[in-house]
Amino acid sequence: MAERPNLRAVTVDATAYHGAGADDAQELGCSLAAGVAYLRALTGSELTNSALTNGGLAAADALSQLEFRYAASADQFATIAKLRAARGLWARIAAECGVTGEAAAQRQHAVSSEPMVTARDPWVNMLRTTLACFSAGVGGANAVTVLPFDAALGLPDPFSRRIARNTQSLLIAESHLARVVDPAGGSWYVEELTTALARRAWEVFTGIERAGGLLAALRDGSLAETLAATWSKRERRLATRKEPVLGVSEFANPAEKLPRRAPDTRPAPRGLLPRVRRAAAFEALRDRADAHLAATGTRPSVFLATLGSPASHSARTGFATNLFQAGGLDVPSGGGTPEEVAAAFTRSDTTIACLCGADPTYAEVAEPAARALRAAGATAVLLAGKPGTVTGEQVSGYIYAGCDAVAVLTGLLDELGVRA
């Protein structure tokens, strides 16, 4: 160890918990529990700063063998606070072992978040990973790894690997990230966020310890259940687009041409925890729509019945277009009188329509337009607006900000006969 002072024998990989759906506090708490478990194994018994007769390492030597790996996401301040909180919490544990000073310092390796990388519109991943890299640098990571932007498509190509390698080099050279120690220190917001996160993480850590330690929590499935509950809540935010994924759940392009990559044939990592991805639900819907296009030659679609003047319907037309395209649907449109709307719907070769207009316009023409669409063969007529905006049996559903977009799109694909 003395000959290789920078060599670390053990990695505490907290990205496994992040990849299973843990929030930042849970990721930190689990990393502390894992670190303590490794310390116990390295020292051979209770943690002390003296060599043990059974051949275990002294606590200071054991601490010097650990490196912590954390996920850096595009949530800039959360990543900064997480890395800052992690150092403080680990120093607290080291102090309990009787170790202070440089030996108690946590060595951090930040890796850009794997769950945030998308397969659709992968170019946006360069923005996500750049922000993650910046946050990791500001947060004080000792080392940073940036995932290639095409990592979710297969094996990254030379261009994407080069971009990933150069991201931190450019930030160091042009943004001077390495010139200031703890540049976020002293910011009221960052300090409060760090303190609050540290408190929650310590509660997670002590809860795991009281239950018998990390290994017990993994073996009995309790940790997996806890992380699954956290991920379920986040899935709800993703499904309702309260947490948007640019290029996937928001501003999707169904006609995009994805770069082709060689398949990654390496065996998937195996463990006691699942692996999640933020974009998975929406990308599954896009896959369904693309498979239908490949099989039939036509993309599934929803007809947009634009009611009133362009100025009055453009906001809801844009909203509906954005939502439906997130599921891989085309959005032919037409406006005018109810009869003209029905004629345009017939030409669109679909069986589902969505009314788009302003509330005053709905009051005047929504019902006649819906009846005309039903008469033209529409099996479902949606309305862009809150439930109850228009009452009547002709309107079968509503789309609005905060609706469950995944459920809506799944139902539409089912209605259109698109195979799962």
Instruction: Give yes or no: residues 309 and 192 share one domain.
Output: no
- Residue located via tokens 């943690």: 47
Instruction: Give yes or no: residues 131 and 30 share one domain.
Output: yes
First to last CA, the chain: 56
Please give the pLDDT value at position 178. 84
Nearest Cα residue to 134 out of 106, 174, 163 = 174
pLDDT at 6 over 80: no
Please check whether residue 250 lies inside any domain of the structure.
no
Instruction: Give yes or no: residues 224 and 305 share one domain.
Output: no
Please check whether residue 258 lies inside any domain of the structure.
no
Instruction: Give yes or no: residues 53 and 179 share one domain.
Output: yes
- Residue located via tokens 């634009």: 306
Q: Tell which phi-psi region holds residue 53, choosing left (phi > 0), alpha (psi between -120 and 50) or beta.
A: alpha
Instruction: Give yes or no: residues 303 and 380 share one domain.
Output: yes
Instruction: Give yes or no: residues 234 and 301 share one domain.
Output: no
How many structural domains comprise the chain?
A: 2
Instruction: Give yes or no: residues 67 and 135 share one domain.
Output: yes
pLDDT at 52 over 80: no
Q: Are 52 and 39 in contact (CB under 8 A)?
A: no
Domain that holds residue 206: 10-239
Please check whether residue 278 lies inside any domain of the structure.
no
Instruction: Give yes or no: residues 186 and 75 share one domain.
Output: yes
Please give the pLDDT value at position 313. 96
Q: What CATH number does the domain containing 368 carry?
A: 3.40.50.280
Please check whether residue 277 lies inside any domain of the structure.
no
* Predicted confidence (pLDDT) per residue in 185-238, tens digit: 999 999 999 999 999 999 999 999 999 999 999 999 999 999 999 999 999 999
Least confident of 166-170, 244-248, 262-266, 342-346: 262-266
Please check whether residue 265 lies inside any domain of the structure.
no
Instruction: Give yes or no: residues 344 and 214 share one domain.
Output: no
Task: Answer with the one of 239, 261, 276 that is the final residue of a domain.
Answer: 239
Please check whether residue 256 lies inside any domain of the structure.
no
Instruction: Give yes or no: residues 222 and 313 share one domain.
Output: no
Report the distance separating Cα 245 and Cα 160, nearest Å. 21
Report the distance separating Cα 195 and Cα 134, nearest Å. 21
3-state secondary structure of 193: helix
Instruction: Give yes or no: residues 367 and 224 share one domain.
Output: no
Instruction: Give yes or no: residues 192 and 330 share one domain.
Output: no
**In this prediction, what percent of the chain has a pLDDT beyond 70?**
96
pLDDT at 258 over 50: yes
Please check whether residue 270 lies inside any domain of the structure.
no
Please give the pLDDT value at position 46. 57
Q: What CATH number does the domain containing 231 carry?
A: 3.20.20.240
Please check whether residue 249 lies inside any domain of the structure.
no
DSSP for 213-250?
A: -HHHHHHTSHHHHHHHHHHHHHHHHHHTTSS--BTTTB
pLDDT at 266 over 90: no
Task: Answer with the one of 239, 272, 306 that is the final residue of a domain.
Answer: 239
